[in-house]
Amino acid sequence: MTAPVSAWRSAKEALRRLLPNSRKPPQMVVWGFAGVTALGTLLLSLPISSANGQPTEVLTALFTATSAVCVTGHIVVDTGSHWSAFGEVVLLGLIQIGGFGIMTFASLIGMLVARTLGLRMQRTAQSETKSLEFGEVRRVVVRIILLALVIELVVTIALATRFIGLGYEWGRAIYLGVFHAISSFNNAGFALWSDNLMPFVTDAGVLVPIMTAVVLGGIGFPVLFQVGRWLRGRLGRWSLHVKITLLTYGSLLVAGSIAVTMLEWRNPATLGPLSVGDKLLAGLFHGITPRTAGFNALDVGEFNSATLLVNDILMFIGGGSAGTAGGIKVTTFALLAFVIIAEIRGEPTVHVMGRRLPSALQRQALTVALLGVGVVMAATAALLVLTPFTLDQVLFESVSAFGTVGLSTGITADLPPAGQLIIVLLMFIGRLGPITLASALALRERARRYELPEERPIVG
């Protein structure tokens, strides 16, 4: 009996290591996203999901499901013509789940069924919503759901009203409003026209509501909550996170819009033929969408190389933490800038707006940024080997996928299967974040029990 019992215990231990560790919330987030992606792949591959009633190839379904769950917007088939109404509803569901966060949905379900959240569920929700106290998780989750639905409803009304004014039937106009409101607030970038939003490049009634939803979704829920409380007179002072996010996000939005507008001002394939007012509108739109919505009102494939580089930078930085945007996040970018400034000044610690930044936070920001650079560079190198496209095109595609943006120069559908799988992996990693993914894959935490003697190598 000893040998069978020993073998059984060994098998249990091996299985335990393979299955997600429920005591590690980041790992549960990873498995939750993977599970929903798998379900979405299955649903999108069904004949009922395609417009022609034929099964969709598994790779195409996987690519689209990952893009929807990771709220990216990359596509290999035309959204409006390939998918049926059922397929489009599946896409909307995946986008909404991805935007809210798998674990936020799990927390809501737990509240509805059990009327209470267990400690394990609260830890899981805390990891996804970035709240600080276990007791706050229930309230935070409900507020996230309500806030998202209210914003999406308002944007839906604005878009539907405009589409009716453009001559669409009521039912179609409302459906278009719902689809693009959900897609824009969740920074997904999916559109039901084959050329995305290019038909509306001069239409402020369509672009402005979408831009507004993109900013509100991408700036982060903690910022929206605190700003809302401040507007109601219930908050006297903003937190450091809100200050840094608003300052950095706003600065990059203005700088990005100005850069794109100036660089494309005379480009005959983009802004050149438009009037001054329309140029400013389209330039503002394309200064916002790389942060990380992925809608395009201009032909991105016709952008100048300098404009593509500006977009690369904006896409890599992304939006605010705990929102629907991707990238390394504006707070990470800002913290690294503050560290550099302090180092140049020769200051031993980093102080920002009357507060000192802990060294652990600085290391975390550096790790996120460098892991992001490493992932993008590795994927870019692989795609250069696998495809005949230029560095500008391939780098743009990689950064867009990692930043969960969805913008493309038009090469996505022409990538070989191996290239599409690389983009799928980039979208998955980009949505979860390098730190979250690394934590989820770690089998156990390691604590250093001693320190070695200090020695300083030469830097620079």
pLDDT at position 442 is 46
Whether the predicted pLDDT of 296 surpasses 80? yes
Tokens for 6, please give them.
Answer: 């020993």
- Among 145, 144, 212, 200, CA closest to 176: 200
Angle at 55 between CA 39 and CA 389, to 5 degrees: 85
Quick one: pLDDT band at residue 209, thresholds 50, 70, 90? very high
pLDDT at position 102 is 58
Question: Which 3 state secondary structure label does DSSP give 321?
Answer: coil
Question: Which 3 state secondary structure label does DSSP give 352?
Answer: strand
pTM above 0.75, yes or no: yes
Question: If you average pLDDT over residues 277-299, what whole number do you get?
Answer: 93
pLDDT at position 220 is 82
Q: Give the position of tokens 């996505």.
A: 412
**Alpha carbons within 13 A on the beta-carbon side of 62:** 14
pLDDT at position 24 is 54
For the chain, give the number of residues: 460
Question: If you average pLDDT over residues 192-203, what whole number do you get?
Answer: 94
User: 13 or 153: whose pLDDT is higher?
Assistant: 153
- Among 215, 169, 210, 208, CA closest to 191: 210
First to last CA, the chain: 64
Contact 415, 393 (CB under 8 A): no
Longest dimension (CA), the chain: 85
Contact 339, 350 (CB under 8 A): yes
Which phi and psi (to 5°) does residue 319 adopt?
Answer: -115, -150
Write the pLDDT tens digit of every residue in 93-143: 999 988 887 556 544 444 444 444 444 445 555 544 444 444 556 677 778
Map out the domains of the chain as residue ranges: 21-441
Whether the predicted pLDDT of 329 surpasses 50? yes
Write the pLDDT tens digit of every residue in 156-196: 999 999 999 999 999 999 999 999 999 999 999 999 999 99
Whether the predicted pLDDT of 410 surpasses 70? yes
**What does each C-alpha distance from 182 to 147, 149, 154, 176 come to in angstroms?**
13, 9, 11, 10
For the chain, the average pLDDT equals: 84
Which phi and psi (to 5°) does residue 259 adopt?
Answer: -65, -50
Tokens for 248, please give them.
Answer: 């950095």
Question: If you average pLDDT over residues 246-260, what whole number do you get?
Answer: 95
User: 460 or 103: whose pLDDT is higher?
Assistant: 460
Report percent pLDDT > 90 for the chain.
Answer: 59
Lowest mean pLDDT among 81-85, 274-278, 327-331: 327-331
Question: If you average pLDDT over residues 352-363, what whole number do you get?
Answer: 85
Most confident of 12-21, 22-31, 221-230, 254-263: 254-263
Q: How far apart are CA 396 and CA 296, in angstroms?
A: 14
Whether the predicted pLDDT of 305 surpasses 50? yes
Residue type for position 189: G
Q: How far apart are CA 5 and CA 188, in angstroms?
A: 51
Write the pLDDT tens digit of every residue in 74-90: 999 999 999 999 999 99
Question: If you average pLDDT over residues 258-262, what whole number do you get?
Answer: 96
- Among 314, 94, 143, CA closest to 214: 314
Which phi and psi (to 5°) does residue 351 adopt?
Answer: -120, 135
CB burial of residue 435 (10 Å; 0-12, 13-18, 19+): middle
- Among 280, 253, 286, CA closest to 265: 280
Contact 62, 424 (CB under 8 A): yes
Q: Give the position of tokens 């400013």.
A: 280
Whether the predicted pLDDT of 41 surpasses 50? yes
Whether the predicted pLDDT of 336 surpasses 80? yes
Q: Residue 224's Cα: distance from chain center in Å? A: 17
